[in-house]
Amino acid sequence: MIRVRFHPIAGTHGAQETEVMYMSAWVVTREHIALLVDALLYTDAAPDAPRDPNELGAILWQENVNSFTYRYSDPTPEEMPAGPFAFDNSTDSGAINKNGRPYVLKQIDCYRTQANEHPGWDTSDAERWTRALGEHLAATTEPTAANKSAYESAPWGV
């Protein structure tokens, strides 16, 4: 059992937690990283983040891989994703407009849960950038029942 942050509405970013059972660490998909890259570049929530999507995606992806390999010190080749991350220009842009803020907030929570298993996470750029993105989106999301429902019904991972 792990604790995940709950972002149903503006003003509750990280304020409420709920217990959910998930595998403790796994490497998110390339589509998941691409969604985060797109949201970071679209919002400018983390102005010090690289503006090159390949560089930004590679950093986010590597933090997740670091977490996975720290948690499972001897992963099999089948458990490891093909790397490194490369941003595919055919990936849909407009992650926030296409999917909605609650959906993106859920994906931020998922990524942060998967990437936080190693000792360097708390001081990493990826931690700071994804925290800033989550705070920005939570602060600009209307506190409605529909947004809470959208967050709750969004998948845990892309």
Task: Please give the model's pTM, rounded to 2 decimal places.
Answer: 0.80
Integer angstrom CA distances of residue 125 from 42, 57, 62, 120: 18, 12, 11, 10
Q: Per residue in 7-32, pLDDT tens?
A: 444 344 444 444 444 456 788 988 89
Picking from 128, 117, 105, 115, the residue whose alpha carbon sits closest to that of residue 36 is: 105
Q: Per residue in 46-67, pLDDT tens?
A: 999 999 999 999 999 999 989 9
Q: Per residue in 67-92, pLDDT tens?
A: 988 888 776 666 666 666 676 654 55
Whose tokens are 């720290």? That residue is: 70
